[in-house]
Structure 1
Amino acid sequence: MAFALKKRGPSDFERASDGSMTLIEHIRELRNRLFRASLGILGGLIAGFWLADPVFFLLKRPYCRLPGTTDALGHCQNLLALAPTTAFLMKLKLALWLGLIIGGPIWLYQLWAFIAPGLHRSERKWAYVFVAIAAPLFAAGGVLAYFVVDKGLGFLMDAGVGGLSNQFEVTAYIAFVTNMILLFGVAFEFPLILLMLNFTGVASARRLLSWWRVVIFVSFAFAAIATPDPGPFGMTLLASALSLLYFVAVGVAFLNDKRRGRGREMYAGIPDDEVSPLDLSAEPVGASGRVESASPIGAPEPIEAPAPIERRYDDMT
């Protein structure tokens, strides 16, 4: 007994790639993607609401490492809440951040599934590579910021006026810590910009290396302006990390240039503003040969008189 198999049509990804999907179908797909992404964030928000307390105590540890914040038994003192709703709003804010992180794979996939059909195969491949590098770099920057927060707080307390209590307001303290983590995480994405310039052929590794003075100066200036901690420790550590990542990115760029054979072209070692060599040796010019006169042009042949109208057409027309 033979069963007829139903022929499966092209998927939504294939239809979006070849341009056969209409505008209304694109809008409908965007609506579905946003709805699924919202469900992922909502699920992460519910999970983050239960994880908000452990995360809060984790963010509180740098404060507990400061001098004068623990009692005789080693218990860390509590942070101040200046309003009745501060504790609930802080837990809700932490839950929202955790929801974005926990639901990140879902809403990032929905965003990528909507954008990917408009990219070429090579562009999608490089997008996978850069995303795989960006996530660990951001995490490394956040971890580094977490371990230097107490150093920055210690400097602020020592450099300020004396006679003040070390008990902080909870909203200001959590904002300070999260801003440090976010800033360090975003700053650690700087090498990806250099690698994009190199992999797309905009700048070679030698040109990137020639910028080292400017990059180091900009790194220290950026760290001094953007760091919430005005102390020298956090600024120097962030600038040093950015400079180190810059040289690592330049090393990867050299490997990429070597793999692609850049620098071995015909004019690779010649500067762009160098004048090309010219052959200025004089050559003797001899007398030219005799030029023969042109033969006369004959008279044109007479043109036949046009035939009458009734005899211009054949039997077919």
Structure 2
Amino acid sequence: MSTETTDAPAKGDMSLIEHLKELRNRLLRAAVAIVIGAVVGWIFYEKIFSFLTVPYCDVVEAKRQTCALTSFDPLEPFGFRAQVAGYSGIFIALPVIFYQLWRFIAPGLYRKEKAYAATFVALSTTLFVSGAAVAYLTLPKALEFLLTIGGEGIDNLTNVTKYTTLVLFTMAAFGVGFEFPILLIALQFVGVVQPSTLSKWRREAIVGITALAAIITPSVDPISMFALAIPLYVFYEASILAGRLIVRRREKARLS
């Protein structure tokens, strides 16, 4: 008899009600982590706001203009600060969110599987943060394109809420996009897709990745689109290599 234990029931032994209860518990824990992170974001709002406005200020100050964002609604600053705090909460709570996701999709997490949880959380968080960082570093060029595409005769009065929404959405979109290799590796791990199949789909993948990057990039500018599409295709190729390693290990395990 196996002596391995787990603090969660195996998914195959759970009823639909138990699945729903577990999902509720995971969502509640993730929500609590986001709320705590949002409180931290509210407290450190000034520093976060200053960080978010750096790309915009770099662009307008290069044109010898004053870096100032506008607000025409007395209620807007409060809603804007709440928005910044909310997004900050999600970013801060990422490890908890990914861990709760893993605990829900993993089949019970026995002792030998817990190492996969740590790897999943670390890799998912690193990729999301990396994607957000790429978006942030790309923003100055993207903003320069957007602010000059209309010509010299336009005086840009940038609204504070619309600007930060653009920045935060772009960072979030890149972060989610950078989770792409985890999805492909997972599909190969469970046998849904084979590395050989992904190799044959390279041309289709290029078209699909480019279209996906164009869809999920909030600014719709070509600079951001290609800044997302190029890493995604690199991840596609890396996922194929990872899939081949998975297949080789399975073959060795089967023959041994």
Asked if these proteins are the same fold (TM beyond 0.5), I'd say yes
Aligned AA for 1:233? I
Q: For residues 16-35 of structure 1, what are the structure 2 equivalents within 5 Å?
A: 16=9
Q: 1:111 to 1:217 in 2, by over 3 A?
A: closer
Per the normalisation by structure 1, the TM-score is 0.65
User: By how many angstroms is 1:229 displaced?
Assistant: 2.5
Identity of aligned residues (%): 35
Aligned AA for 1:172? K
SS of the equivalent of 1:201 reads coil
Question: Are residue 137 (structure 1) and residue 127 (structure 2) matched?
Answer: yes
Q: For residues 250-265 of structure 1, what are the structure 2 equivalents within 5 Å?
A: 250-261=240-251
Question: Are residue 52 (structure 1) and residue 42 (structure 2) matched?
Answer: no
Q: 1:83 to 1:223 in 2, by over 3 A?
A: same
Give the counterpart of 2:74 among 84, 92, 97. Answer: 84
Question: Are residue 171 (structure 1) and residue 161 (structure 2) matched?
Answer: yes
- Map Cα deviations across residues 254-293 of structure 1 (whole Å, 9 max, x no partner): 222222228x99xxxxxxxxxxxxxxxxxxxxxxxxxxxx
- Map Cα deviations across residues 194-241 of structure 1 (whole Å, 9 max, x no partner): 111211123322222111111111111122233223332221221111
> Match of 1:202?
192
Q: Which has the larger radius of gyration?
A: 1
- Map Cα deviations across residues 26-49 of structure 1 (whole Å, 9 max, x no partner): 999888777665554443332221
The whole-number CA distance in structure 2 between the counterparts of 1:125 and 1:211 is 32
Aligned AA for 1:90? F
Higher helix share: 2
Q: 1:169 to 1:209 in 2, by over 3 A?
A: same
Whether the aligned pair in 1 keeps the contact of 2:94 and 2:125 (CA below 8 Å) is: no
- Map Cα deviations across residues 107-155 of structure 1 (whole Å, 9 max, x no partner): 6666766x48962537665454333321111111100000111211111
Larger mean Cα displacement after TM superposition, 156-165 or 119-128: 119-128
User: By how many angstroms is 1:64 displaced?
Assistant: 0.7
Please, what is the CA RMSD of the aligned residues?
Answer: 3.7
Larger mean Cα displacement after TM superposition, 57-66 or 81-90: 81-90
The whole-number CA distance in structure 1 between the counterparts of 2:74 and 2:242 is 53
Q: Which has the higher contact order (CA 8 A, sep 6+)?
A: 2
Per the normalisation by structure 2, the TM-score is 0.79
The whole-number CA distance in structure 1 between the counterparts of 2:134 and 2:127 is 11
> Match of 2:85?
95
The whole-number CA distance in structure 2 between the counterparts of 1:204 and 1:28 is 34
